């Protein structure tokens, strides 16, 4: 059972990440379908996950109604991987477990997260980086109004080869308008 809801949309809600959610996070971050698009090559033990989430602000568990109708279950994470410029810019990170993908959870959770970051925390800008082959993720960002700001040549390794990365940015006034 996840902790209390911090923000609620039509199908998903954002929750603080509790110690009992660490196992879910660990499973997600080690799953090739999740970590490869995130260009995350780190092997994470349960205690690595605990350490990673310790003192971490701007990290939410994404929850949705469970298929069996028995309340809510965790489906993914939306977060700022890091913030810079004294809580002024955040680098967006999200993932949804493979069995829950294709339901629009990422878009809705990110929408809630951006409202929180811009409207409540006063962030000035949110940035994101996506491998050019990750069309689904680029589509999510573009549907939320992110502007493509660049293409970093041969910036990450995908399937044994260097691949370009798109950079995206969204300014507070673009979100609020």
User: Minimal CA–CA distance to 38: which of 76, 65, 1?
Assistant: 76
Applying the rule CB under 8 A, the residues between 100 and 159 that interact with another protein are 124-125, 127, 147, 149-157
Confirm if 81 and 127 have CB atoms less than 8 A apart: no
- Nearer to another protein by Cβ, of 98 and 122: the residue is 122
- Binding to another protein by CB under 8 A, coded x per residue (else -) over 32-51, reads -------x-x----------
Span near another protein by CB under 8 A; candidates 21-29, 111-119, 136-144, 165-173 = 165-173
State the pairing for strand pair 89-96/125-131. parallel
Q: Establish how many alpha carbons lie within 13 A of residue 38's alpha carbon, considering only the half-sphere containing its beta carbon.
A: 22
Minimum Å distance from CB 148 to another protein?
Answer: 9
Minimum Å distance from CB 62 to another protein?
Answer: 27
DSSP sequence for 50-114: HHHHTT--SEEEEEEE-TTSSSEEEEEEEEEEEEETTTTEEEEEEEE-GGGTTSSHHHHHHHHHH
Q: Does residue 65 belong to the site contacting another protein (CB under 8 A)?
A: no
Q: Does residue 85 belong to the site contacting another protein (CB under 8 A)?
A: yes
User: Minimal CA–CA distance to 166: which of 147, 144, 150, 154?
Assistant: 150
- Nearer to another protein by Cβ, of 102 and 145: the residue is 145
Span near another protein by CB under 8 A; candidates 12-20, 69-77, 107-115, 164-172 = 164-172
Q: Which helix (H) or strand (E) holds 143?
A: helix 135-143
Binding site for another protein (CB under 8 A): 39, 41, 85, 89, 124-125, 127, 147, 149-157, 162, 167, 169, 171
């Amino acid at each position: 059972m996840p902790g209390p809801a911090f923000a609620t949309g039509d199908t998903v809600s954002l929750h603080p990440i509790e110690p009992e959610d660490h196992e879910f996070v660990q499973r997600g971050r080690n799953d090739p379908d999740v970590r490869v698009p995130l260009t995350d090559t780190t092997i994470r033990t349960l205690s690595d996950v605990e350490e990673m989430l310790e003192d971490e602000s701007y990290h939410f568990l994404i929850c949705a109604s469970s298929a069996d109708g028995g309340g809510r279950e965790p489906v993914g994470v939306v977060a700022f991987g890091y913030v810079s410029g004294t809580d002024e810019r955040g680098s967006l990170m999200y993932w949804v477990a493979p069995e829950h993908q294709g339901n629009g959870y990422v878009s809705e959770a990110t929408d809630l997260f951006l409202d929180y970051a811009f409207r409540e925390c006063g962030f000035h800008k949110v940035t994101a980086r996506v491998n050019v082959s990750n069309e689904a993720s680029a589509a999510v960002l573009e549907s939320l109004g992110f502007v493509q700001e660049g293409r970093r040549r041969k910036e990450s390794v995908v399937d044994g080869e260097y691949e370009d990365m798109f950079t995206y940015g969204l300014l507070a006034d673009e979100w609020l308008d």
